Structure 1
């Protein structure tokens, strides 16, 4: 045969017999460098590759007198050696670069890139924005166009000194609160881009009506600042009915809503009733359910006892008066704590606070833990629920979150040491 044909046959035989030696050489180079930190000698790689290639060539019937005495054998040997040395070099490089301590917990507790962190005073914060389209959650109805657009254009500022898993949890809680979502799942990458999968509110009105109650909508003068949850008294002729506000909307509110302009003329006037066991038409997703009314002529939906619904329906011009709910018990408790010279702080345990020293500080009585939320590795970084009045049955770990109380000076030193 001519020399070009011999060279081509040698390349073919080298590729055919060099795959297995290259794989073995690359695997050994990676394992030796990863576990011992030592590079496998090149001479050993050559000897190993030739040994494997000779055995493989014998099994394939390639070791024959006419092949052994032809130039193609030399070309095949060179190809086998080049493949083995290249695979060994790549395996050695991979073994040097791959982290030696890799766990699922460390992967979940990855942090943000420094390029997206904004410094506000001494604290860092990050602005999280959606990445791509807001996707529908499987098993739930599709999001409305208005709600989808609101989420798509949204941005949320969050602390930058916590792992991405905690950022995802906080953003999920905020989206549930702000938009009353039935369910939501958020994934945030190192560039603060959020992939959001959301489910729309289900039964926005009917799920807030207790059993035995009815939701009655009234066309009346709405007090300024009226919001969902306020306790009101409705004057219907000679009768007075007590109820709880489920929603309030006025003409001014409709002007400020993004999508209410086309739907405001479809609302019927007068009173309407919805039983607590039936689903009502969904509320406008663009309007936040917790926003207070701007006041003026509008409509108020009130939850009242079933026996009082008929009286409100027959009233021609019902009037609403807001009842005082007094001082919040929570604020009164905080005021008493401040008067006694104590302070309450919310703190996330850092690396310096994880250990027995924190347990000793709590056991000494200088600091009291009011509530704690564990950050468990067994739940892939997800947090458990809040536990109030807990005892320190085990040492605190990095990522645990808690409310602590104590003398103001002592509590500041404790928080600084624990969160460091």
Structure 2
């Protein structure tokens, strides 16, 4: 009879070799039951099944079988049985855990989506957040003028904080939108790796005020009493001596912070002081403001004296919350103009198969007759109408290719 340590080693070896198949079966059963039925298999059932697969006669009763315990290799067999049980229980627990954590609707797209490394995620306010680090020089985009040096430096030093639970592709889209809105860029491209390092290419603004003036409107600059805090996008009422008119603020003269006096130093090395931040709201009082109004109203305001300007209440903007929910689910909202002679010109939405074939949903349509909300399958758009469509970026690109 071999010595006791050798019996232990022999038992561990036999248990590892014999327990591979029972452990694999235990993992498959644990994962399958938890994933499809959300039910965990009892551990006792896993133990009995594992011993049966391992070929142990009598199951757990083998631990009390005198023929086994009193045999020449009794210690080795008992150790092997214990190892098989431990492997099976561990595999079952892991399978049960993976079955609970695996998404129920698993698609190839979700499998292909990359996510950030857990090392770069910061816990802020109870949720994961990542601060993107722009590495390297900010590149220029082909077909656009080069970026000015000051704008390139500002983009390079920008701080972009985003939720860390999103796939990298969605983080790239959000970072691009953030850069376009913050720096008024004509276009931007962001590529992010698993470490949160971002490579950015951008195009400078191609227009100034004209981009913010809606179609069919005219921008007029007025000098009058402006409420403190007025900002671009505010809806205002403009008063003259004879009538009142409505418009939208497109730009204001920002209020400058600081007294303008240089700060006294202690004689140390002088460094270039950063420029003070400039608020994007009006300081208040008699000031100059630019508003977008209709063509007829623009002519009237240029000929008459403006006696006052007041800001109208907009209430809560639920549309921003809606857009955030759409983006969180991987959807986008896009405006598509129906092309003359295209697939939609003179054909119903249901006939073309907007949803069934292209996977998009038309939320609204705007034509000469006004707005149509949630048009049905029988709605027939005409050339020149604008459709507001929701779908994934790929589906929207495919739909715009045939409709616009």
TM range (shorter): 0.3 to 0.5
Name the structure, 1 or 2, with higher relative contact order (CA <8 Å, separation 6+): 1
Give the TM-score taking structure 2 as reference length: 0.44
